[in-house]
Amino acid sequence: MKKTVWLIDDDEEMVRAVQMMLKLLDCETRYFYSARHAVDTLQAGANVDLLVVDINMPEISGIDLLEYLRRQEKWRSLPIVMLSTEAADVMVDRALELGADAYVTKPVAIEELQAAMDRAFKAHEK
């Protein structure tokens, strides 16, 4: 069964590139250009198997979204991969401490994305 992966990133080119990778990895995809829209969709009851979240976004950052989701019982076990141009150890460490399951830097290769998704799914196996 195909996994449903949501990509949350405000960069249209990056969305297109990662969405193509996700399709090649046999995933159903949906994209959001804002964290707020993604949260509204989650709250409306939409189903998702994994989130790929950019850190640097207007209004609500990927870090803020990660913190919010990990505080909610309903989404605490939702696999989350952070995707960012931020490669500094402090940012990577912060995202992982807040509950990200994997962290990859842009530009990302399809093999890196697949490995990160595998780690995220494995972290939440029941």
pLDDT bracket for residue 51 (50, 70, 90): very high
CATH number of 4-123: 3.40.50.2300
Give strand pairing partners of 81.
52, 102
Cα separation, 65 vs 81, in Å, equals 12
Q: What is the mean pLDDT of the chain?
A: 95
pLDDT attached to residue 63: 96
User: Is residue 11 predicted with pLDDT exceeding 70?
Assistant: yes
**Whether residue 107 has a cis bond before it, omega within 30° of 0:** yes
User: Is residue 29 predicted with pLDDT exceeding 90?
Assistant: yes
pLDDT attached to residue 88: 81
Please report, for the chain, the start and end positions of each structural domain, with discontinuous segments joined by +.
Answer: 4-123
pTM score: 0.95
Give CA 78 to chain center in angstroms. Answer: 10
Give the pLDDT confidence of 93-124 residue by residue, as tens digits. Answer: 999 999 999 999 999 999 999 999 999 999 99
Question: Count of residues for the chain?
Answer: 126
pLDDT attached to residue 87: 82
